Amino acid sequence: MKVINVIKDTCTYLQLENELEYLNTYDEETKTFNGESVVNNTSLVKNLNLLVKCFNLVLNTVCSEYVKLKDSVWVHTTTGKISYDEISSNEIVSVISCENESGKKIQFADFGGEIVINQTGKIKVNYTYMLNDLEITDEVNVVTIPEKTFAYGVASEYLYITKLFDDASVWDTRFKNSLLNLLSTKKQLYIKPRRWF
């Protein structure tokens, strides 16, 4: 999913024509925008920056509430303390578990920035995380949600920030319903009817 495509969809939904026109000047090969009008139009720049911030808010919401991003890493400790910086460059939401080299789970204490264990050596840390803020030219590969669905959420955040609460509520409902439809299981529960003799 490309951030710029989500922002373009959002501009289409919200009828932000000047922003959309500028975004359409993006050259994928050179990774630059060719629209010169943006230099003199500070409100356009502010609006685009706000849309990117809204994208990052939605991304954090999705990663923390709907799609838990999980990973694991091996870390060597000589003190029994492991800082979050040693685990990941992304923002860690929570540490799920720790294991030693033989695969046995070990107890740990999470102090929100550092975990402490009663062992030293090579430790496998399993954790959930959120992505760092992205720029308009970045791409997201770990979240497989359609760009149009994501744009609903960005539209909602943008409208909340600009104090159009009724419109924001409509887009928020679309976003959440779309997410729930995507994330729900497609299988219907079928119970075989009983026969009574």
Q: How does pLDDT run across 51-64, given as a tens digit for each residue?
A: 999 999 999 888 87
Residue 143 has, within 13 A of its CA and on its CB side, a CA count of: 28
- Where the chain has pLDDT below 70, the residues are 35-41, 185-197
Q: Are the C-beta atoms of 129 and 69 separated by less than 8 Å?
A: yes
pLDDT in tens, 109-122: 999 889 999 988 99
pLDDT, position 9? 95
pLDDT in tens, 144-158: 888 999 999 999 999
pLDDT, position 192? 40
Amino acid sitting at position 125 = V
Q: Are the C-beta atoms of 151 and 70 separated by less than 8 Å?
A: no
CB atoms within 10 A of CB 57: 18
* pTM, entire model: 0.75
